[in-house]
Amino acid sequence: MIKEQIVDGFHNAPHRSLYHALGLTDEEQARPLIGVVCSYNEIVPGHINLDKIAQAVKLGVAMAGGTPIMFPAITVCDGIAMGHTGMKYSLVTRDLIADSTEAMTLAHGFDGLVMIPNCDKNVPGLLMAAARLNIPTVFVSGGPMLAGRVGGKKRSLSSMFEAVGAYKAGKIDDEQLCEFEKKVCPTCGSCSGMYTANSMNCLTEVLGMGLRGNGTIPAVYSSRIELAKHAGMQIMELVKKNIRPRDIMTASAIRNAITADMALGCSTNSMLHLPAIANECGVKFDLDEVNEISEKTPNLCHLAPAGPTYMEDLNEAGGVYAVLKELEALNLIDTSVMTCTGKTMKENLEGVVNLDAEVIRKPENAFGKTGGIAVLKGNLAPDGCVVKRAAVASEMLVHEGPAKVFESEEECIAAIYGGKIVKGDVVVIRYEGPAGGPGMREMLSPTSAIAGMGLDKDVALITDGRFSGATRGASIGHVSPEAVSGGPIAYVKDGDIIAIDIPNYKIELRVSDEELAKRKKETVLKKKEVSGYLKRYAAQVSSADKGAIINKI
């Protein structure tokens, strides 16, 4: 065990003296030391309850004969950071989280880890750390928020952002806007739809790194506390059997995650995070394989923002395992993979039943014959771009229209609220990519404004940045190469015709190669002046199609 390098032997007496300074007894020092990586803070709604989760985990570890020791991980609330400079600091924290967890773990010699994340970059950041460290690890998240209720209907944070657009369009008044504000987020937890946080927590189950229910048991349910205790107990089994993250997160497990992603209708951000996790696992991630999997995988769930169901409904229907059971019946997943239960996925799925065929559709009645996410390619995005196909209206799956080009999210929002975006337009927002933003801001505000104003079935948005998991409509992100790297999106002009064909995975700028070459010579690429961490990040980050990983060092 790693602890032996720090605790055992006369030469480690100084280390033991510092453990005694913590109040750790000889008996506690003799047991496996388990790091409890807790993302608790008082600013993120998905994390305000993690102190209770951590206490439950620590009880579980102690009950099973280990010594739990907690240390923190940071996180950013994407909802609070949305629409301003703060959003530049969201994706970039994924690497800070992975790096700081690596540093804390190796500096202090833990034998195993229990990761307690909940929100967007926090979950993948800790999964990356788990793969990098490769010591026994189990995940237990804080759980999703319950849906709010306004006007007799379930609502969520995306409803709130769309209400702002509806207010601006004169469709609702001050009193109605205030009602949304007070009611859409009624409890702690990660926002209640299939947004990025819940997508990644669900995929943690599929990857085999979280126990059943990790992605779906609501934050306020007592069963979430029980799950945390079981996670604390289970880490001791993993330490005993020496089952490690790279034994679990294999190429087959990554492929399972892509497949489940398609069935669940997860956030497009999973197409940033799964490649980054795979990279840490030493597994090749081919973006082209996403469409191959999508062609075979039916879209079984339409959770918000794609449909009227929420995470609490998915939980009642049997959760992620019930979705995996449907995929197993179609022979679409590899059930021989090992999981953090110490059993194979096949063993885990024994006796699992789909309890609600409306929330989790049967394949013969699927929402779509193909998966929830599509990767498009063409002369506008030679290395690919990503759209949440499951949240696109049928009339927008194929669309052609004139470009209206903006150099930032702020410019675009001003134009939307100024009535300058009309039916048929293809809005292009550039210089928002990983390096160009920098930080690849999520852009829920423009997509929600368009949806709230009733234009989501008439207008497409394209960006080298990214969209929130709460986005619906023809919102196409991750355009690669990005504008700051000289990608074709840098040379689009107002009025250029852009053709989108989601069923055939194509996106084309109707401009000749000769004209593009001419524009390339004439265009001076824009580079934003930034300092501090963002400056270092921009210099080191890869393109979105590679997962926006830090690889330029």
Q: Which residues are marked as active site? A: 468
Contact 184/150 with Cβ under 8 angstroms?
Answer: yes
How many C-beta neighbours within 10 Å does residue 69 have? 17
Tokens representing 376? 């498009």
What is the distance between the alpha carbons of residues 483 and 88, in angstroms, rounded to a whole number? 17
Contact 67/29 with Cβ under 8 angstroms?
Answer: yes
**Which residue in 482, 470, 489 sits closest to 268, CA to CA?**
470
Beta bridge partner(s), residue 402: 497
What is the distance between the alpha carbons of residues 380 and 377, in angstroms, rounded to a whole number? 7
CA dihedral over 220, 225, 228, 230, signed as positive or negative = negative
Contact 265/361 with Cβ under 8 angstroms?
Answer: no
Which backbone phi and psi does 401 adopt, to 5 degrees?
-165, 175
Assign 62 to helix, strand or coil.
helix
Number of H helices and E strands in the chain, helices first, is 21, 14
What is the distance between the alpha carbons of residues 414 and 165, in angstroms, rounded to a whole number? 12
